[in-house]
Every structure is written in C-alpha cells, then in structure tokens.
C-alpha cells in the first residue's frame, strides 16, 4: 500500500481519525491522533510535528520538536476506537537534520536490515516470535514509604481451588500443568480465539493458539514469521490486541515475564533464519541439517548472549524467569529438539525452507525492534568472524553433574549484571551504524537509574519474612 492508496482508503472507509503510532525507547507504543480532514498525503513525505520531550529516553525539553513520518504499508483500521480510525506506524525524523532519529527503535531495526544487505551474506532475515502472556481477573499493586505489595488473581489460579466461589467449579490447571488440557480447564480458549479473530481482521496471520504451562491463564498465540521490521510491527499490534481484547472481556493481560511465584514465566522464543535471492542459507550438511553459515550464526549468538541479555531480557523481573529449574534456558548451549538449551534447532519438518534456529532467552518485556536487531547483529558477527559455536549438547542440561555444568557459560543472573556485560561487549552492535554509542549509553543509564536502582532502594515484602525478627 502506498500513500495514494492510504488516502483513497480514508475516503472509502469514511475514516474520521488517523492515529499515528511510534515506539519509545523502553518498548511502549505511543500515539497521537489527527482528524482525517486535517491529514494529507504530504504527511508521508514531510511528516507531522510533535513534542518529543516527554518520550522516555528521547529529547530534552530544550530540543523537543520531532517529526513522525507514517509508513503507508502499515495502515490498518483500528478495531477498538468508537469512531472509524486508521492506524499508521511511523518513523521518527529530527526536524533540523531531516535524518532518521538514532534513538528511534524502528529506525534501528531498519538499519539492521540494511546492514544485513550490505554484508552480502543474505538479503532477508526472517523472525518468528512466540510471545507468551498471562490473563488475570484482578491485579493490584502499590509502593509507598510504609508499604509495598502486589496481588494477582485468576479464576484459573490453582491457589483458588479451595475458595468459595458460590460455587467453585474446580477445573483449575495444576501448577506447571497448563500445557495444554481442553476446556473447561482451559478457561481462556474463547478469549484467545477472539484475539486471533481480531489479529486476522487487521491483516496478521496466526498459526496456532493454546494455553501455556503455568496455571492462572498463561497463554500463547503464534503469529507467522516475517521480515525483521514487519515482525516487530506485528508484535506491537499483537500486544495491543491482546491487552484490549482482554479488557473487553473484563480481564487484564500482561507481558511481564514472571508475575507468579512458583510457576513458569513468559518467554518470547525467537525463531530466525537468513535468506538470499529467495533461497534459505541455513540448510546444509552439518549438525541437525544446518549449514556452516548457520553454525557460525549460532556461534555469534552464544558469544554475545550475555551482552544481548540487557536488550532481549531488559527488566529486573526478567531475571526472576531466567533461573535454573524452569523451562527458561540459562545455559548457553545449542541442541536439536532440546528445550533446555538456549538455542534449539527445531526438527518438525525436513523442508529446507523451514530450517531455522530458535533462540530461547528473550522475553516479551523487550522492545521488539531492538531485540530482533541485536540478535541479527550478533548472528552476523558470528558469520563474519567465523565464530565456532563448539559442540552441541544433546542432553537435559539441568540433569548434568555439577562438574560438567560449571563448564557451560550461563546467562547473567540480574539486569545489573547484564548491563555490565553490554558495556564490555557492544562493538558488534555498532557495525553499520545500526546502534550508536549514544543510544547504548542512554539505554544502560536509563535502565540502571530508572529500574535497577529504584528496585534496590525499596524493601521487598519477603525481606520482612526473612529479617523482621532479627
């Protein structure tokens, strides 16, 4: 779809409002809305001005003017607004230089795609992401000088098996057994189906949906793979649809990685492959049917995984998920079929076009434009520098004896540790000017001061159980 077709669509659909969306640095969609009669085709070349000073990680108040430039290929009719509204995903320009804004996450993703082409290795990177989420019936939290708490609840929660629900009908998934019994135990089926319907309505392709492992409404909806930027765009539409559909059902959805103690958290397993001139370059005669190029790509991901953690698992809560004993992989190894490895080579089919790898540490709290771009840059660094991934590990890593396990590198144990790793290892992200030193410095400082330090300042409720009587 081009700019002219968008303007025709506005007239054909009697669109009243045009919603312009863009991404802040941490990963939340932002928007402002223009009446359709005030929106012209010039917006696609000249852009629309707005105040960027309040966007997290962006401009300061004395240089706040910014420009959004809509991408006409992203147009879709919003399914939730009362008035007919056309949504457009936008890129950000600096009004002085008229150049793409280096702190715009979508710009970083676009630059990663262009860098891939410039290497001559491939011309297309495909990504498919499994963004898991929880659906709750109630969520309350607060933090004051004298109290701090959170409370989540779900009619599915196993902890409610003894609650008087007038009547309590049972059918609550056991801990770690939500994957995946039929209804009535799976109480979120119809809700997920409605989410899928809306996703299809806005042009997304859905491959499957199901309950996930945890009790209390953990869900997964698998959307079809696409190019890097299109996948990131689709993930933002995905989150928007999941949250707003849940709201219409009187429920709340969260992509927080670990909202429940004692059960599985939510990951975003990321499938990826490289193609050139319409042909996949990951199939070959090596391990698990991979090419040497694919093995080098794995080598890059494994080498830089600890630095990647600061971008692909970017919250303090992410490291409540990345602990041994659950399905989240902390050991940096690769294997075919093995879900305890951080990189898995799926073997569902022998088709060369389906040959890919699955990187399992990312979680859905990430900014998808940054997370996918960073993974691509790590993989390309592996190819360009012929990084050997070492031998595969075709066994349950959690059952290895301690003397073998200690030889396997692991993901960082905290966001603070991950940020320190990114400080030490980020040259691979700077190639092609994809990420910049300014952006990475801003990211690290933002995460340290706005998240890590803020968490460290506050007493944790469980500390009272441990230490109050000392």
Catalytic residue among 360, 381, 426, 451: 360
| 360 part of the active site | yes
Q: Which residues pair with 200 in a beta bridge?
A: none
Catalytic residue among 212, 226, 233, 263: 212
Catalytic residue among 2, 8, 46, 51: 51
Residue 413, classed as helix, strand or coil, is coil
Cα separation, 213 vs 396, in Å, equals 18
Cα separation, 297 vs 386, in Å, equals 8
| 441 part of the active site | no
Q: What are phi and psi of 116, to 5 degrees?
A: -55, -50
| 212 part of the active site | yes
Cα separation, 33 vs 465, in Å, equals 49
Q: What are phi and psi of 143, to 5 degrees?
A: -145, 115
Give me the DSSP letters along 125-177.
EEEEEEE-EEEESEEEEEEETTEEEEEEE-TT-GGGTTS--SS-----PPTT-
Catalytic residue among 21, 103, 269, 306: 269
Cα separation, 182 vs 293, in Å, equals 41
Catalytic residue among 130, 226, 327, 451: 130
Catalytic residue among 137, 233, 358, 381: 358
Cα separation, 352 vs 160, in Å, equals 47
Catalytic residue among 24, 137, 156, 220: 220
| 277 part of the active site | no
| 201 part of the active site | no
Other C-beta atoms lying within 10 Å of the C-beta of residue 318: 29
| 51 part of the active site | yes
Asked if 247 and 343 touch (Cβ cutoff 8 Å), the reply is: no
Q: Computed over its alpha carbons, how large is the radius of gyration of the chain?
A: 23
Catalytic residue among 132, 156, 186, 381: 132
| 130 part of the active site | yes
Report the alpha-carbon angle 143-148-154, nearest 5.
100
Query: Which residue reads 């595969």 in tokens?
Result: 392
Catalytic residue among 5, 163, 339, 449: 339
Cα separation, 175 vs 250, in Å, equals 24
What residues act catalytically?
Answer: 51, 130, 132, 212, 220, 269, 339, 358, 360
């Amino acid at each position: 779809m081009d700019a002219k077709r968008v303007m025709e669509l506005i007239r054909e659909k009697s669109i009243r409002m045009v919603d312009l969306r863009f991404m802040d640095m941490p990963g939340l969609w932002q928007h402002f809305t223009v009446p359709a009669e005030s929106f012209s085709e010039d917006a696609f070349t000249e852009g629309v001005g707005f105040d960027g000073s309040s966007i997290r990680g962006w401009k300061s108040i004395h240089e706040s003017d910014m420009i959004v430039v809509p991408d006409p290929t992203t147009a879709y009719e919003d399914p939730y607004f009362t008035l007919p509204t056309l949504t457009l995903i936008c890129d950000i320009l600096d009004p002085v230089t008229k150049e793409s804004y280096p702190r715009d996450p979508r710009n970083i993703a676009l630059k990663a795609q262009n860098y891939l082409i410039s290497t001559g290795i491939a011309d297309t990177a495909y990504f498919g992401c499994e963004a898991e989420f929880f659906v709750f019936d109630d969520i309350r939290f607060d933090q004051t000088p004298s109290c701090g708490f959170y409370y989540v609840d779900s009619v599915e929660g196993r902890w409610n098996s003894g609650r008087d629900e007038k009547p309590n009908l049972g059918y609550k998934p056991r801990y770690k057994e939500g994957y995946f019994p039929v209804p009535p135990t799976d109480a979120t089926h119809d809700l997920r189906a409605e989410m899928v319907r809306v996703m299809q309505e806005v042009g997304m392709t859905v491959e499957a949906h199901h309950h996930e492992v945890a009790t209390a409404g953990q869900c997964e909806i698998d959307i079809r793979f696409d190019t890097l930027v299109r996948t990131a765009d689709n993930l933002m539409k995905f989150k928007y649809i999941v949250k707003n559909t849940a709201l219409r059902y009187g429920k709340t959805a969260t992509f927080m990685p670990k909202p429940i103690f004692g059960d599985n958290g939510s990951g975003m397993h990321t499938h990826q492959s490289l193609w050139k001139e319409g042909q996949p370059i990951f199939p070959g005669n090596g391990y698990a049917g991979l090419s040497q190029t694919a093995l080098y790509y794995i080598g890059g991901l494994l080498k830089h995984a600890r630095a990647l953690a600061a971008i692909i698992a970017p919250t303090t809560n992410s490291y409540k998920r990345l602990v041994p004993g659950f399905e989240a992989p902390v050991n940096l190894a690769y294997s075919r079929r093995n879900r305890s490895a951080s990189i898995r080579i799926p073997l569902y089919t022998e088709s060369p076009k389906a040959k890919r790898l699955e990187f399992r540490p990312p979680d859905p709290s990430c900014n998808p434009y940054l997370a996918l771009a960073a993974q691509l840059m790590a993989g390309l660094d592996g190819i360009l520098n012929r990084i050997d991934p070492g031998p595969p590990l075709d066994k349950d890593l959690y059952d290895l004896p301690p003397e073998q396990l200690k030889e396997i590198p692991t993901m960082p144990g905290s966001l603070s540790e991950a940020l320190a790793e990114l400080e030490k290892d980020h040259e691979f992200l700077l190639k092609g000017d994809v990420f910049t030193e300014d952006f990475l410095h801003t990211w690290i400082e933002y995460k340290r001061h706005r998240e890590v330090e803020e968490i460290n300042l506050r007493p944790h409720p469980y500390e009272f159980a441990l230490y109050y009587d000392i």
